[in-house]
Amino acid sequence: MTVRVSCNDCSLSQICLPLAVEPEQLDELDRMIRRGRPLKRGEHLYRAADSFEAVYAVRSGALKTYSMSEEGDEQVTGFYLPGEIVGMDGIGTAHHVSSAKALETSTVCEIPFTQLEALSTKIPTLQRHFFSLMSREIQEDRMLHMLLSKKSADDRVASLILSIGARHQRRGLSNTQFRLPMSRYDIANYLGLAVETVSRIFTRLQQQELISVDGREIQILDRPGLCGDSRKTCTS
Amino acid sequence: MTVRVSCNDCSLSQICLPLAVEPEQLDELDRMIRRGRPLKRGEHLYRAADSFEAVYAVRSGALKTYSMSEEGDEQVTGFYLPGEIVGMDGIGTAHHVSSAKALETSTVCEIPFTQLEALSTKIPTLQRHFFSLMSREIQEDRMLHMLLSKKSADDRVASLILSIGARHQRRGLSNTQFRLPMSRYDIANYLGLAVETVSRIFTRLQQQELISVDGREIQILDRPGLCGDSRKTCTS
DNA sequence: CGAGGCTTTGAAACAGTTCAAAACTCGTGG
DNA sequence: CCACGAGTTTTGAACTGTTTCAAAGCCTCG
């Protein structure tokens, strides 16, 4: 039982795949997309070693991707918010190398990759857009590389908060006040820190009056301060 | 004055782009490639903010890519050996976001991206191969993410040594004995460590008789030991 | 052969971790 | 509707891997 929503009606079409497709060709893209039932918090969208069939656009909610090392510890590799594409790391190996799990009730649009590939050869702007998406994912990984390798724990947390804010803004929401969809554990894991450290930093950033924290509810009080802290280009 | 070498004669064709192209179509790929004069150690292939025109296949030598933070410190984001493709991070932004610099005398094949894109719509296996390459770059970034966020300094260095070895093997060279093309500074920077730490670790790994080190000359003496150290899947 | 860059080594300092424990949330079932 | 309990978050104190500072030795290439 697939839900009947079309890209035309979707509020995310301006930041999602459709933006690369002319209106007259949108139907073709639209028809290949499968919109399944919502994922409940904790449910998997796919698991490592599943065969790679599709990429997914997040429609609502939030997901995390993670992989497992041989010793069995988890590494959170990314967070995905509405309008973002998840699952591109599987293209090269024909099976997923990471798992994707819902952080809260979420809906996604499934885009079968073989069909997307075929359509891409017909619509150059779509091919280009997809190259761009992957390239930008690489760029972001490089920025994360710098974050992990050069920045202090405070900078890392500040940077994540700013990033979530900026991604909210892309959807027309406040970049100043929002709810973090992930736990302190996930944040710590993603940023290569201990949970205790992350918790202490939230408290500290609040004491410095850079943000106000209430559980997962965040409000940015002093953006320049927070940016300066993380020395990150302060878009938004 | 472009050098006259064709993909047909190139010993790297089995790990480089040509592997995705049928022999009868190889000429078309071949014709779009420009082979320039060698880069001397320290010369740039491109710099951050240069407009993005092409990706490059390394033919000989070795390069590093790096980006600069606002404060002006360098982050080495990758090392590129013969047969590998460098420059894909620029696709999404129309200009390069990092710089690429020769670590030693190197030659590269320049592949104009617009032409590659056009050819990709005609040769689906080429399109697929390019998606795969980018996807694998993302995968590797994710493994690096885990390395930086969860592993000890010793594990990181061991892992890099094993990676360089494996990449030598792909070209039919020894995966046990080789020369590192990069300085201790570059290794430290890439792995998020201090130079002194890296130097100490090389000494320590040698004391443990896992490797033998003579400057940049490396020999792996106890692969399982080195793998076990870095807990990395020990291919090769 | 000399100079600047690399590499190594030692000792002190520190950022972040680990261990331990208490306090809070929130969904669930009685 | 309230109480229970598992998972999450916070806080404190001791510990440790890595960095920083300092200095000497070593290539290598002009």
**Cα–Cα distance measured from residue A5 to residue A37, given in angstroms and rounded to the nearest whole number:** 12
Q: Find and list the nucleotides of strand D having atoms within 7 Å of a protein beta carbon.
A: 8-13, 17-22, 27-28
Weakest mean pLDDT among A31-40, A152-161, B46-55? A31-40
pLDDT number for residue A72:
83
The rounded distance, in Å, linking the Cα atoms of B214 and B14 is 32
Per-residue confidence in pLDDT tens, chain B, 236 aa: 555 678 999 999 999 998 999 999 999 999 999 998 899 999 999 999 999 999 999 999 999 999 998 888 899 999 999 999 999 989 989 999 999 999 999 999 999 999 999 999 999 999 999 999 999 999 999 999 999 999 999 999 999 999 999 999 999 999 999 999 999 999 999 999 999 999 999 999 999 999 999 999 999 999 999 987 655 556 55
Cβ neighbors of A101 (< 8 A, separation 6 or more) are A42, A43, A44, A45, A63, A64, A65, A66
3-state SS of B116-142 is: HHHHHHHCHHHHHHHHHHHHHHHHHHH
Q: Which two tokens stand for residue A224?
A: 């320049």
Residues written for chain A: 236
CATH architecture under which domain A151-227 falls: Orthogonal Bundle (1.10)
A100-112, pLDDT tens digit by residue?
999 999 999 999 9
**Quick one: A7-146 is in which CATH superfamily?**
Jelly Rolls (2.60.120.10)
Chain A residue numbers touching B144 (CB-CB < 8 A): 141, 145
Is B92 strand, coil or helix?
A: coil
CA distance A226 to B90: 28
Contacts of B91 in chain A (CB under 8 A): 131-132, 134-135
CA distance A77 to A66: 5
Neighbours of B181 (CB within 10 A): 20
Cβ contact (<8 Å) for A127 and B120? yes
**pTM for this prediction:** 0.94
Task: List chain B residues with CB under 8 Å of A191.
Answer: 149
Question: Which of 52-81 (B) contact A at CB < 8 A?
Answer: 67, 69-71, 73, 75, 77
User: Which tens digits make up the pLDDT trace of B58-114?
Assistant: 999 999 999 998 888 899 999 999 999 999 989 989 999 999 999 999 999 999 999
- Which of A149, A197, A231 is most worth mutating to test chain B (most B CB atoms within 10 A of its CB)? A149
Residue spans in chain A of domains classed CATH 1.10.10.10: 151-227
Q: A123 at the B interface (CB within 8 A)? A: no
CB contact under 8 A, B138 and A88: yes
Where does chain A hold its CATH 2.60.120.10 domain(s)?
7-146
Closest CA to A65 of A140, A161, A125: A140
End-to-end distance of chain A based on CA atoms, in angstroms?
A: 40
The dihedral through the CA atoms of B170, B171, B173, B179 has a sign that is negative
- pLDDT tens digit string along A59-107? 999 999 999 988 888 999 999 999 999 999 899 899 999 999 999 999 9
Q: Cβ separation of B138 and A134 shorter than 8 Å?
A: yes
Q: Supply the DSSP string of B50-84, one letter for each residue.
A: SBP-EEEEEEES-EEEEEE-TT--EEEEEEE-TT-
Reference A134, options B48, B157, B55, B170; nearest CA is B55
Which of B19, B137, B142 to probe by mutation at the A interface, max A CB count within 10 Å? B142
